[in-house]
Amino acid sequence: MISGVAGGLMSVGFHPERLSVGASGAIFGLAGALIAGFYLGEFSLPRAVVQAHLRSVVAFVVFNIIFGAIASGTDNLCHLGGVLAGLGCGALIAKFAPSDRNVTARFSILFLVALLLAAITLHLEHSRNYMGHLQLGAEFLNQEQYAEAIDELQKATRAQPKDVSSHLDPAAAYYGNKQYPQAEAELRQALALEPDNQNALFSLGFVDLAQGSVPQAKEVFSKLIARDYSAPGGHYGLGMTLAAEGNDKAAIDELKLTAQMRPNYEGVYYRLGRSQAKLKLYADAIDSFQRELKNGEDYDTELELSDAYRANGQTDKAATAKSRAEKLRKPANK
């Protein structure tokens, strides 16, 4: 039982976000106790027999640890935690309570080890508690409840200020809540911890755009493209930056490149259509907006499609698109 708990604690300690089930940690604990007992204990059996048993159990542990490292879906940390707990208990019993008549001593050893595991549990509860705030904050973020997300994610940041993810999610919540200076501050802290973090750089570019810092945004997205030309996010961001500068022709080139790399990139055809409409390429804009709507209904896209139809002289279709847009309009926040 102690080994099973120890295996679970080691798994949680290194991967608090991952669930693990099964009794293998306890089984490995029994193997660890046998190894310690065979190595340190005294037996009436010939030493050669004991050594043979020892080699057999060691081979079992080593083989399964290697197999666990190769096979997917195996929690080797749980196995390792169980082995270590078994080795510890087995060694203490072999040295200080070798006889099965030493009931009190054996109970005391197991009790002390159980207390140690309880202390480790309390430590993990305190040190990994931020994960709960991160997960709850992420749920609020997905539901666009930005104020609630910020409250939960701030708790995670205070608990784990040197964890990059503790800054990225709050930045997204601040951005969604249009608190751009706070979002920028979180992203710069994330980049101070991990200067090459692509997600932080990508998000920083959009925060710069939202604050009207177009040259800074252009520099960020150009840097992303220089690092990985094949990543569509950098081209998408640069396309938006060029559009913000009024250079819609160059923006169209970058956005088309994004669409070639990833046709289902969210928002790319919407942005492409807007730039095409500004250049009075209304037929192309209509096609882009229609492509965007294949990914799902959207108020803004329907509204832009309506304007493009009207500018192209297709008033009936413009009215139909405007009607669809009105049905998708979100109610005003109270």
Place of tokens 């998408």: 236
User: How much is the pTM?
Assistant: 0.63
Does a structural domain hold residue 333?
Answer: no
Q: How would you classify residue 298: left for phi > 0, otherwise alpha for psi between -120 and 50, otherwise beta?
A: beta
Q: Are residues 275 and 182 in the same domain?
A: yes
Q: Are residues 52 and 86 in the same domain?
A: yes
Q: Are residues 103 and 135 in the same domain?
A: no
Last residue of a domain, one of 105, 127, 149: 127
Q: Are residues 147 and 116 in the same domain?
A: no
Q: Give CA–CA dist 218/12, Å, rounded.
A: 42
Residue-wise pLDDT tens digits, 164-212? 878 998 999 999 999 999 999 999 999 999 998 999 999 999 999 999 9
Q: Are residues 324 and 259 in the same domain?
A: yes
The pLDDT value given to residue 152:
87
For residue 246, the domain's CATH number is: 1.25.40.10
Query: Dihedrals φ, ψ of 302, to 5°?
Result: -65, -40
For 58, the domain range is 2-127
Q: Are residues 90 and 20 in the same domain?
A: yes
Does a structural domain hold residue 334?
Answer: no
| Highest mean pLDDT (candidates 19-23, 294-298, 308-312) | 308-312
Helix (H) or strand (E) holding 1: none
Q: Give CA–CA dist 258/236, Å, rounded.
A: 6
Q: 302 near 321, Cβ under 8 Å?
A: yes
The pLDDT value given to residue 128:
67
Residue-wise pLDDT tens digits, 209-264? 999 999 999 999 999 999 999 999 999 999 999 999 999 999 999 999 999 999 99
Does a structural domain hold residue 191?
Answer: yes
- Reply yes or no on whether the pLDDT at 72 is more than 80: no
Q: Give CA–CA dist 129/98, Å, rounded.
A: 40
Q: Give CA–CA dist 309/286, Å, rounded.
A: 7
